[in-house]
Amino acid sequence: METEVTKNIIGSSLPEHTLKVFDPQKNDIVDKKLSEFKGKWLVLFFYPADFTFVCPTELEELADLYEEFKKIDVEVLSLSTDTAFTHKAWHEKSPAISKVKYPMGADTNAFLAKTLGVYIAEEGLSQRGTFIINPEGVIVAQEVNDNSIGRSAKELLRKIRAAQYVASHDGQVCPASWQPGDDTLTPGADMVGKI
């Protein structure tokens, strides 16, 4: 399988796009514009397909931490190339997915998966891609895994907290495994005498 290397999209603005979304809290399918998420932090959480094996473990873990995401003004939007009707059926049938309260987007034409470089054309599916978007609609972090490797919602929450910290503390950066309350670094000042 040949693939082309995509450019780094960190710092790029999320494109305007409207998609069908299954809203579990309303038990309804609605049209949602990505611009409606501006003003708060957003996670785009791509997964290959509904009714699969690894995907429900990831979406359930996100569901278990969803209230923690909301407390820090973060919305989660899961995405696959399945239809919103398939998302609704999965939500009704799966004990794990029935816990999901965040919106489940239908990227049926793979516009977002292609735009963000996570589309697998041969399969019509997306890779496990995670994108953190700031309130201005700019991508500040991305993670892409092979579809055989599940992600950690706890680590995603940690990354968002770090992104929020540096966004509100000009000149500060967060070291590896940083948690709220840990020391941060000031590039330049923290390097004096260490070279």
In this predicted model, what pLDDT tens digit does every residue of 110-136 receive, in sequence order?
999 999 999 999 999 999 999 999 999
Residue 77 has pLDDT above 60, yes or no: yes
State how far the alpha carbon of 98 is from the alpha carbons of 10, 34, 115, 118, 177, in Å. 33, 24, 29, 26, 31
Residue-level pLDDT at 2: 45
Residue-level pLDDT at 1: 42
Residue-level pLDDT at 174: 94
Residue-level pLDDT at 41: 98
Residue-level pLDDT at 192: 47
Q: Known catalytic residue: 174?
A: no
The position carrying tokens 């907290």 is 161
pTM as predicted: 0.92
Backbone angles phi, psi at 145, to 5 degrees: -115, 155
**Residue 161: in which H helix or E strand, if any?**
helix 153-168
Residue-level pLDDT at 8: 81
The position carrying tokens 């891609």 is 129
Which whole number is the average pLDDT over 130-158? 97
Q: Which of 14, 21, 42, 55 is catalytic?
A: 55
| Amino acid present at 108 | T
**Domains contained in the chain, CATH given:** 18-152 (3.40.30.10)
Residue 177: pLDDT band (50, 70, 90) is very high
| Amino acid present at 76 | V
Residue-level pLDDT at 42: 98
Which whole number is the average pLDDT over 29-57? 97
Residue-level pLDDT at 116: 96
Identify the three-state secondary structure at position 165.
helix
Are the C-beta atoms of 163 and 140 separated by less than 8 Å? yes
Residue 3 has pLDDT above 70, yes or no: no
